[in-house]
Chain A
Amino acid sequence: MAKEDELYQAALAKGGASADEVSKFGAGGGNVTKSVGNVVSIAGKFGIRAEEVPALLKLAKAWVNKSVDDLGHKYEQMVPEYQIKEEVMRSVICMFDSGYTLPQGREVINYYFPLQYGYDGLIEMAKKGKDRVAGRADGDGIAGMDRLYFYEAARLVLEGIQAWHLNYAKEAKRLAAAETDPVQKREYEEMAETMTWIAHKQPRTFREALQMIYMIHIGVVNEDAISGMSPGRVGQVLWPWFEQDIEAGRTNEDEVTELLECHRIKMTCIDCFASMGVVGGVLSGNTFNNLSMGGLQRNGQSAANRLEMLILEAGIKCPTPQPTLSVLYDEKLPEEFLLKCIECDKTGTGYPAWMNNRGAMEFMMKQYGAEGMNLEESRAVAIGGCLETSPGSWKELTLNGKQYWIPGGSGTPTSVGVHFIANPKVLELVLFNGFDLRTNKQVVPPHNKKLETYEEMWEVYKHYYEIIVDCLATTNNIQHDIWRKQNMALFNSLLKPDCLDKGQHIGNMGYRYNATFNVESCGQITMVNALAAMKKLVYDDKKYTLDQMRDAIKNNFGFKNAAEIGSFSLAAQEKRDENDAYDEIHSDCLKAPKYGNDDEYADSILREYEEWFCDMCHGAESLFGKPMYSCQISVSTHGAQGAATLATPDGRLSGTTYADGSMSAYPGTDRNGPFALFESATCWDHSQSQNSQMNLKVHPNAVKGVEGAKKLLDLTRAYMRRGGYHIQYNIVDSKVLVEAQANPDEYRDLMVRVAGFTQYWVEIGKPIQDEVISRTEYEGV
């Protein structure tokens, strides 16, 4: 689009565009970093053919004043606190809008209905639904009449899905007709047969079932802008076909593993078209299709099965970013399965991540109890997106007369509501009376307090945070309200319980669980360390005045800004000149107590924060009239939001990346080993939150051989038993990462774990690369 175009200029004028300015894409891999020939680069990431640009622009202009963006923006400005929200976005205290960007996702899909009834059966259900409700409100004077429209829309969508499958069958037949190689010809014919059958009926074989769930997945993610549409517990969903095919000799484990490898390739091809700030600053080009394994069955027994062992095997043989894998760790899971997970971790792929199943179930009961969640249903939990604990339910599937209970997602999207608040930046506002020195704007009203005690500073911090959450919750509620009225999901709706039963889509709360909106934080440990330094140096020891600390922060402790030198880790920063005026205060800030060392001084600050934060989030209400809750993941926002933050009192310098996740130590500050880190991390109750996030870097030598594998499992168990919610490992030599940063072309297939997802190294922006390199590397566990 031409830079002078009115659409382009209007986009720049919005506060939400500020995140784009501080976000960076990786410069390698599959990213289209610049325009070449007839390929036009969009935002350094996507490519479009030059001949298709005019049509794209014509379409975009046709939606002016009609799109969810424009209508949402029109009405969100009517919120009295809108101006604060605008400055919050401009200062990148919040990473991005919720309803404008990725209104769905970070949830678990549900494949049950097509797998059980086939599309012909679902169309019949929709037709019967229409007959049942047409013209009848049935006591619901607001949404009762909407049911007819939902069932009719469901029928139309289902017939469209069938036609789409049959188009593939037609193409496969065309290719078969032209093919001379008999093996290839037969393969095309089998594809045509599969697509024709699953366009109408329940799948008969494992291969057909796998094909069907992949097609459902693509159908859903093409219906809307989505990241984190997670497949859920695929090994348990497809178990009926696997079990019966193996028993009947229709397939074998080698063939199943190969199909699962193909599935990995196809899932890795999924991309998400959104703004620079979202795709670069948050997703790092990833789309978070998280496949969950393990956990419990409906009856409370271990749910791990042989097919999940093959899913792990496929992840080892065919390492790709998607689907990333998560294991729902439970004491009931068999040792053989857990060691297979460790074997996969040891390959350096960064998956599976480890989630605490019991903690997740507790959170389910607390958050969704009011909507009917019980113990049995809480066992259907799975991970949506990076590590967003998502509600599920059990449905009874019948295959060849045999019954199975399979889990599937049953909740609205998570990680919608209030997106990524930069905790250290809120502290910056407190220290500078609500003013952002980077944008030169008053973000929140001045508090005009002297901040004479730590307690007074902490009270202002909480007050500012609540103002920010409130303005983001109200404005984003409006965005989502426009979305649910103008652009509600239909295919995703009809897949999830209980839309087809109720005759209501997602917007009318057709889903079983609707209390999924949340408040996301970022930079939590950087904030804890900063508060600890303030408490120690300014309030307890009184070595420095508040003004001296402010002066040091404004002058970045005498260093250059990270963007000036193009490096974003603390270790690589450069002094501005020979002026050593800030050396002593900087040294003291770095030596102040730090989280991650089993030090009560810092840990008590974390505990006080968590107890307030998890409770405070419940005070925010979603557009569905449900309380929000705490979500503690950083994804890639710790890079972009760090870039927008001045130096912090813990000694971190301006523009450098925050500590990742929410429970990871700041790089190099966890000096007492992993068990001390675990003690610090579990000083609060993780089940109060949807999640928490701990990322650990381990040198490969530390987990070598069978003994090393057992040590890594013991380490994981130790964290889970203390109540830690999530841990994942980068098992890699930091020297390799440094070498890969210098010579990206030689490391096209190197993958690393960032903060909840695995991604190709070359497709990650430099701020995050620098952060991963600088993470503490454990040489022994």
Chain B
Amino acid sequence: MKNNVNHSDCQNFIPIDVAKGYCNMLKANVVIDSPVCPKFAQVAKCKVCSKFGCPDEKGIGQCGGFKDEYWAYGEMKAVNCEMYQTK
């Protein structure tokens, strides 16, 4: 099991609500905070993007991917971000 990740960090996870979602690999509902499995595949999020830097203790940092730098938070999904680059 990986550390510091939950099911919402996985590409196979389809969210239902704030506590649970559907695992497209297991074909079953999973609780977000339950342990992830060996088939975990990291989804694009700011916290794993090379353009994201200087996060504070709350996970809020700076996005340097665009012309104007702006704040972003690490848990934000970046699957549709044109400037996303995996670290």
Q: Please give the residue numbers on chain A whose beta carbons come within 8 Å of chain B beta carbons, in ascending order.
A: 30, 32, 36-39, 47-49, 51-52, 54-55, 58, 167, 170-171, 175, 178
Contacts and interface: CB of A to CB of B under 8 A. Distances in A.
14 contacts: A30-B17, A32-B18, A38-B32, A39-B19, A48-B18, A49-B8, A51-B59, A52-B75, A55-B59, A55-B60, A55-B73, A58-B71, A58-B73, A178-B24
The majority secondary structure among interface residues of chain B is loop
Nearest to B58: A54
A48 B73 CA distance: 15
A167 B18 contact: no
A133 to B, nearest CB: 31
The 7 closest A-B pairs by CB, nearest first: A47-B18, A54-B58, A55-B73, A51-B75, A167-B80, A39-B18, A39-B19
B76 interface: yes
Contacts, number: 38
Contact of B75 (A36, A39, A47, A49): A49
A219 to B, nearest CB: 16
A210 B68 CA distance: 40
Contacts of B33: 37-38
Given A37-B33, A38-B32, A38-B33, 5 more contacts: A30-B17, A39-B18, A48-B18, A51-B59, A54-B60
A173 to B, nearest CB: 13
A44 B19 CA distance: 15
A171 B76 CA distance: 17
A171 B80 CA distance: 10
B80 A54 contact: no
A580 B8 CA distance: 63
Contacts of A37: 33
A47 B33 CA distance: 14
A47 B71 contact: no
A229 B32 CA distance: 32
Interface in B50-64: 58-60
Contacts of A55: 59-60, 73, 75-76
Contacts of B79: 171
B18 A175 contact: no
Contacts of B76: 55
A36 B17 CA distance: 14
Contacts of B18: 32, 39, 47-49
B73 to A, nearest CB: 4
A237 B73 CA distance: 42
Nearest to B72: A55
Given A37-B33, A167-B80, A54 B59 contact: yes
A145 B14 CA distance: 46
Interface string B1-32: 00000101000000001110000100000001
Nearest to B8: A49
Nearest to B60: A54
A170 B6 CA distance: 24
A52 B58 CA distance: 9
B15 to A, nearest CB: 10
A170 B81 CA distance: 13
Interface in B71-87: 71, 73, 75-76, 79-80
A221 B81 CA distance: 23
Contacts of B73: 52, 54-55, 58
A49 B71 CA distance: 19
Contacts of A52: 73, 75
Given A51-B75, A55-B76, A175 B24 contact: yes
B13 to A, nearest CB: 12
A632 to B, nearest CB: 36
Contacts of A170: 80
A30 B6 CA distance: 22
Contacts of A58: 60, 71, 73
A55 B74 CA distance: 10
A167 B82 CA distance: 12
A52 B47 CA distance: 13
A54 B82 CA distance: 25
